[in-house]
Amino acid sequence: MKSKNKRLSPPLPFGTKNSITFNDFANLSEQQTASARLKIEYRPLKRDDPFQFAFSAAQVEDLRLVAASSTPMRFSTSDSPRGIVMLPMLGHCQTRRGQRSIEWGQGRAALYLPPGNAQGESGARSIMGIDIDPGRLETIARTMLGDRPEADRERIVDWDTPRPLKLAAGNVNFDQIFRHYAELLDLMGADLNLLTRLGISEMILRSTIMLTAPHLFLDTHTPSPAAVSSKVKLVCDYIEAHLEKKITLTDLEGVSGLSARGLQYAFRSAMNVSPIQWITDRRLDAVRRLLLVATAEDTVIMIASQYFTHMGNFARLYKTRYGETPSETLSRQKKRRL
């Protein structure tokens, strides 16, 4: 039930404009149980305290994400059919599965919870949840690992054990990464086509895999110089042939047979840039070539939109690379034709 009452719960990480707010915990429990096909019960942490729960969801391709915030509460779930990764944006929680109790929250840890039952309590909190499809994530993880022996094991990531997930591993700050994703979802949530073209579902899934199994991706795999040159050429040829299409790092790992870290190392070694930067530079070069042979009817947007989705960002990158705006390039070309 949508509420017009004063906001008591913390801000949602995304989706505030389309959120639903509950002030009746019994009504919330009933509706969540009906919509989620599992039994969920909520109640205030203290019997007579005010209760509020806000909720929003986003579906990008086959990835489902949820945002939730609440006042202090207790909860229990039964027979949950799917696993979930929960990223804390604010507050702290305690979740129990059987005899195991897991402390997690802002600045402490995220949580992976497999299908099944759970109970717990929290203070005021705000979280982002990612529904887990183990089969899909296993496929992406194997591609990210490339030719490493770990890919031959029956299971790469443990999807059966509830556990806290470190918010930082090595030099990777997962807290910042997922907050950035939440900001993108909040900014562009109404434009699912743009989110799809940006490849945000792929980015979130890859980050989720690294969050759940960082030990698999911390060892640097260093191929020989000859192997680097050969594999980078394969990747470059693939990129050149697909510049007008969405290109993901998972695609490039599949083409090269390198792990995620091996691909980054190979490009840094051979090109002195990351794969993503190399793709961006090739697309900028392609746009400039077309601008330099443009006709009177051509516009910057007509040409650039073949390769870029965000025109403001494209214009900034173009000027940085060539020292002039794309409009200036096009204007000069049209004057030459007169």
CATH number of the domain within which 15 lies: 2.60.120.10
In whole angstroms, give the CA distance from residue 89 to residue 9.
13
Total domain count for the chain?
2
User: Is 315 among the domain residues?
Assistant: yes
Q: How far apart, in whole angstroms, are the C-alpha atoms of residue 250 and residue 228?
A: 18
State the pLDDT at residue 315: 93
- Residues 187 and 286 occupy one common structural domain: no
Instruction: With a cut of 70, list the residues of the chain below it in pLDDT.
Output: 1-5, 33-38, 147-154, 190, 218-227, 337-338
Residue range(s) defining the domain that contains residue 322: 279-337
Checking DSSP bridges between strand 125-132 and strand 83-90, what pairing results, if any?
antiparallel
- For residue 230, tell me if it sits in a domain: no
pLDDT given for residue 276 in this prediction = 87
Count of C-beta atoms within a 10 Å radius of residue 320:
9
Give domain status of residue 7, yes or no. Answer: yes
Q: Domain ends where: 191, 219, 247?
A: 219
Q: Is residue 235 part of a domain?
A: no
Write down the pLDDT at residue 131: 94
Report the pLDDT value the prediction gives residue 322, as an integer from 0 to 100: 94
Rounded CA-CA distance 9/295 in Å is 56
Element (H, E) at 176: helix 174-188
